[in-house]
């Protein structure tokens, strides 16, 4: 027997129960050990021009996304990647760097001088990591701490290699460069314009 819409009779509470259970899974997915939908961590630049989800074809729930200045593999990226790959079933990491990055926009010494001026000329009394205030720049320079970039393709490839080789990160790792001028991704070292604009000898 079917209703006027051709559907088999049933109990509506079954549909409601499925919805409630799905919401419970969403809200408690860490407690229930449910990984991201794509078992994916994305490390990307915080630049507002980079539409990470659109560029990678992912949606809310598909990935954990870590954004910082330059999309740099910092100590906290390693910390996060280690935790998610070891305990949250994440199997893949994608690094997204981009052209015209602000981390290439100034010389190292100009950045160092600007930060030291903001701190009153001395960074020794500034907590650089509020979660772990005992940490400091140590013997590194301010420029090393900021991690400016000379070549975005080289930086992307180096960061992929670092994560691939890190003993605490158990995942496949890939890297892409997002071209802000074309709105597309490419592989590091895959600058097309140079090839198509230069005559082959």
Tell me how far CA of residue 173 lies from CA of 8, 40, 82, 188, in angstroms: 48, 10, 13, 13
Where is pLDDT greater, at 127 or 92?
92
Mean pLDDT for the stretch of residues 139-167 = 80
Q: What pLDDT sits at residue 9?
A: 63
How far is Cα 56 from Cα 96, in angstroms, rounded to an integer? Answer: 9
pLDDT in tens, 18-52: 999 999 998 998 889 899 999 999 999 999 999 99
Report whether pLDDT(80) > 60: yes
pLDDT in tens, 81-103: 999 999 999 999 999 999 988 87
pLDDT in tens, 8-21: 666 888 889 999 99
Q: Are strands 184-186 and 172-179 parallel, antiparallel or unpaired?
A: antiparallel
Long-range contact pairs involving 108-114 (C-beta distance under 8 Å, separation at least 24): 108/143, 108/146, 108/148, 109/143, 111/142, 111/143, 111/146, 111/148, 112/141, 112/142, 112/143, 112/146
Report whether pLDDT(113) > 90: no
Where is pLDDT greater, at 3 or 101?
101
Where is pLDDT greater, at 144 or 97?
97
pLDDT tier at 75, thresholds 50, 70, 90: confident
How far is Cα 157 from Cα 177, in angstroms, rounded to an integer? Answer: 10
Q: What pLDDT sits at residue 50?
A: 96
Most confident of 3-17, 111-125, 167-181: 167-181
pTM of the model: 0.79
Q: What pLDDT sits at residue 1?
A: 52
Report whether pLDDT(7) > 60: no
Average pLDDT for the chain:
84
Contact assessment for residue 49 and residue 180, using Cβ atoms and an 8 Å cutoff: yes
């Amino acid at each position: 027997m079917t209703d006027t819409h051709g559907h088999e009779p049933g109990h509506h509470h079954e549909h409601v129960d499925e919805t409630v259970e799905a919401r419970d899974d969403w809200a408690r997915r860490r407690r229930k050990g449910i990984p991201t939908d794509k078992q994916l961590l994305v490390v990307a630049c915080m630049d507002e021009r980079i539409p990470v989800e659109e560029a990678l074809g992912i949606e809310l729930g598909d990935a954990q996304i870590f954004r910082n200045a330059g999309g740099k593999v910092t100590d906290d990226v390693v910390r996060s990647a280690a935790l998610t790959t070891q305990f949250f079933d994440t199997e893949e990491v994608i690094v997204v760097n981009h052209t015209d990055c602000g981390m290439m926009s100034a010389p190292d010494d100009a950045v160092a001088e600007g930060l030291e001026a903001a701190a009153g000329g001395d960074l020794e009394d500034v907590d650089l990591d509020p979660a772990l205030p005992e940490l400091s720049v140590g013997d590194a320079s301010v420029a090393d701490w900021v991690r400016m970039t000379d070549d975005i393709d080289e930086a992307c490839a180096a960061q992929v290699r670092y994560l691939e080789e890190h003993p605490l990160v158990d995942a496949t790792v890939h890297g892409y460069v997002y071209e802000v001028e074309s709105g597309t991704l490419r592989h590091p070292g895959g600058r097309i314009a140079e090839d198509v604009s230069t005559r082959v000898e």
